[in-house]
Structure 1
């Protein structure tokens, strides 16, 4: 525990008292205070004054234990004492019992403040630093500074532990300095790799384990505990100074991650847009995602999403699908269009949920087309249900459902499409059903459309004529 400086005046008074009242062989140590019988408010306060003096003079954990025991006695004495009770009708009336209990609480806080520090405090501080090193996103320069800070701390800590407990480091499961030395020597090439975060954390964990194994005593090993805590304070200060990504402005983060490296001579402004176009041309999906995440402007967000839509399947990665699908789950139509262009099968379940949203025709149109482009066979029946003329689906939406079925190309859609072609009251729906059947392209599907080559409706007959030609072209091949 930490020791206070002795007051020279107090020391002089104690010496005078010893000379005046004590025998030559009598101890000058202050006797422990005694709890008064039939205690009063005044005597209890005097008793607490004596305990406070002993707390100020305490030098060891044992001294503090004695003070705690005296406070326990004082607390019991206050409970048993016949003290005046405050007037319940007077809010400002004094309450001697409460005042004494408050003093005891303050003295107990003082005991806790005076205790330690302990080896456990060092372990906690080192483990907290290790967690910070591991969880913080450092820049390249910051990581170098962190490595230097940890290396310096590990050296100081190892020296302090060795001096106080020789052999403690050697007996530990892992030598923290050896871990860092291995990291430095692990690369045989001339250009040594920087020490990894995992290696730095392992070294700090090894220091914490060595301190715990040393089992330092708060009294006997106060100096080494203080030295280790001073070293951890220095480590914390160095970590505070190391550069984190969050410390950088957005354009600095982008520059550090190479976003602008693709730029040569450019004429578009802002430069972020010019770089985005180049990343799109090169298929740099990660950089487009970086811009989308970092550049919080509607202008750049729109252009990033448009880049993904133009890239289509080239822009499909696990990360890009996750990002766009998250937006689609909020019924974002541009994101839904992108998922279709990417042919992202991962989006099927989400998009199928939106097929029946009859109150939002624009959303339905985007969803139907995306499901068609994905080729989502799971959507065949939900889309076929949209062709029902007695349903609630907007008439302008039904042709989009038919076309989506054609894009999917699943033969299970032939019958509902043929039924729509035959009986639906809307020529637009019938023509879309004919187009979809031609996309499916089986003989059954083509024959169902070819029957309407002489249809009175021009848009329907056009699909019928195309289907008839397709059958005619296929006939020689079938004959051969």
Structure 2
């Protein structure tokens, strides 16, 4: 081995950088120093910019600056041995220092670009956007009677501000009267509906702003005045009285829930009103009480009323409640008797559940005559729980699908529990075809009295 060859061990020295590489790094360092100086000048230009045209010039300079900066390519630092990585005395490679400088310049450039955007405008489009936002709040919120009055007053004042700034003649719709709650339902299209009519008036305001063709430089004072007026308008709308600001009983009063009461017979008065509404068939008022009153007592009585009435208007509410594993809601869906996909799907979810939910679900599906539930119900004829098998058989009988005759006949012949066999016999009688009735009639001397009774009830003249 010659003396010129590198030796292994601690005495090995890192090779000096090649002259060409060193020259490249020197050139990059010089470029970055120039960039650092230039960005300070750009910062001064932005501070001195007064018009949109000035800002356009600065923006073009920033775009050019970024293009030139991104053209700089800093080589990766040389790899180091793992033993050297933990050496605190090692200085960072020159490439790392240059990359840090580059990152600082790029960060300053991003800040300048953001500052430039902040310095632009405001524009007429900003006023339009703010008005649209307030209008959306007005139409997207439920207001009280007082809230309607406050909105009318606030909008009237805002339109006056716009007229003063733009020389327009905007005004509120004629005959605008506040109404909410039960009063709204009593008014025709020409009265009430304050939010919708105010929205129309605000559409005219935004059109006026757009037609003014405001210039960010020449009309800066007008734009600032419009934005200030819009901010004040937004604050007044935010302070207007929303429906949710009312206490629950006040909401019910305004909805007319207590109007049916000449006197208070039962306590609480909500219970008395609920009874009257049930008697009169006022489903909406019962659903209102159910949704509004945070009372287990009133919820129970609302559900009982709905179960007795079986109104289709309650389907959506009961499907939602059934989805929360509520047995009472499941039963009510059966009483309503509408076998929509939404209802059947909600009930079928509990066919293979726990017995507490299976029992009302099976019965409800039977009451609905839900043929889509036949297969999952038939599978429950083999359940371990005898009660579940019995409920499933009765549900299938209520549905009356002839496809279930054979599986029900098997249950009647083979099930170990007589009460399950009796349910299967009852189901076959409910199906009522000749085949079903003949099967049941053969058990007239069965060991179980309940099965014998079903056999005796089998009418061999099948149902048409």
TM-score, structure 2 normalization:
0.70
| SS of residue matched to 1:396 | helix
In the other structure, the counterpart of 1:456 is 447
- 1:221–1:429 distance in 2 versus 1, CA, 3 Å: same
1:406 and 1:466 mapped to 2: Cα distance? 15
> Offset of 1:133 from its aligned partner?
1.6
In the other structure, the counterpart of 1:408 is 399
- 1:191–1:306 distance in 2 versus 1, CA, 3 Å: closer
| SS of residue matched to 2:386 | coil
Q: Deviations over 1:400-442 (max 9, x none)?
A: 1222122223344334333433343321122112222333334
* 1:147–1:195 contact (8 Å) kept in structure 2: no
In the other structure, the counterpart of 2:256 is 258
2:167 and 2:306 mapped to 1: Cα distance? 59
> Offset of 1:110 from its aligned partner?
6.3
Aligned pair partner of 1:348 in 344, 361, 381: 344
> Offset of 1:293 from its aligned partner?
2.2
Residues 1:156 and 2:161 are matched in the alignment = yes
Residues 1:273 and 2:268 are matched in the alignment = no
Alignment of 1:356-367 (within 5 A): 357=352, 360-367=354-361
1:342 and 1:190 mapped to 2: Cα distance? 32
1:115 and 1:430 mapped to 2: Cα distance? 84
* 1:308–1:315 contact (8 Å) kept in structure 2: yes
1:384 and 1:235 mapped to 2: Cα distance? 64
| SS of residue matched to 1:180 | coil
Aligned pair partner of 1:284 in 270, 276, 282: 282
> Offset of 1:239 from its aligned partner?
0.7
> Offset of 1:398 from its aligned partner?
1.4
Residues 1:371 and 2:365 are matched in the alignment = yes
In the other structure, the counterpart of 1:141 is 146
> Offset of 1:273 from its aligned partner?
3.1
In the other structure, the counterpart of 2:228 is 230
Aligned pair partner of 1:215 in 190, 213, 216: 213
1:419 and 1:51 mapped to 2: Cα distance? 90
- 1:224–1:433 distance in 2 versus 1, CA, 3 Å: same
1:98 and 1:463 mapped to 2: Cα distance? 89
- 1:410–1:63 distance in 2 versus 1, CA, 3 Å: closer
In the other structure, the counterpart of 1:317 is 312
Q: Deviations over 1:112-146 (max 9, x none)?
A: 55543321221121111122122122223323332
In the other structure, the counterpart of 1:329 is 323
1:110 and 1:154 mapped to 2: Cα distance? 33
5+ long unaligned stretches in structure 1 = 1-37, 80-86, 90-94, 164-168, 170-175
Q: Deviations over 1:315-351 (max 9, x none)?
A: 3224x21121122234332221121122231222332
2:372 and 2:402 mapped to 1: Cα distance? 13
5+ long unaligned stretches in structure 2 = 1-29, 71-90, 94-99, 178-186
> Offset of 1:450 from its aligned partner?
2.9
Moved over 6 A (4+): 47-52, 54-58, 66-79, 95-110
1:264 and 1:440 mapped to 2: Cα distance? 51
Residues 1:248 and 2:246 are matched in the alignment = yes
2:115 and 2:67 mapped to 1: Cα distance? 19
Please, what is the CA RMSD of the aligned residues?
4.4
- 1:219–1:437 distance in 2 versus 1, CA, 3 Å: same
- 1:360–1:100 distance in 2 versus 1, CA, 3 Å: closer
| SS of residue matched to 2:167 | helix
> Offset of 1:203 from its aligned partner?
2.5
2:60 and 2:446 mapped to 1: Cα distance? 105
> Offset of 1:208 from its aligned partner?
1.6
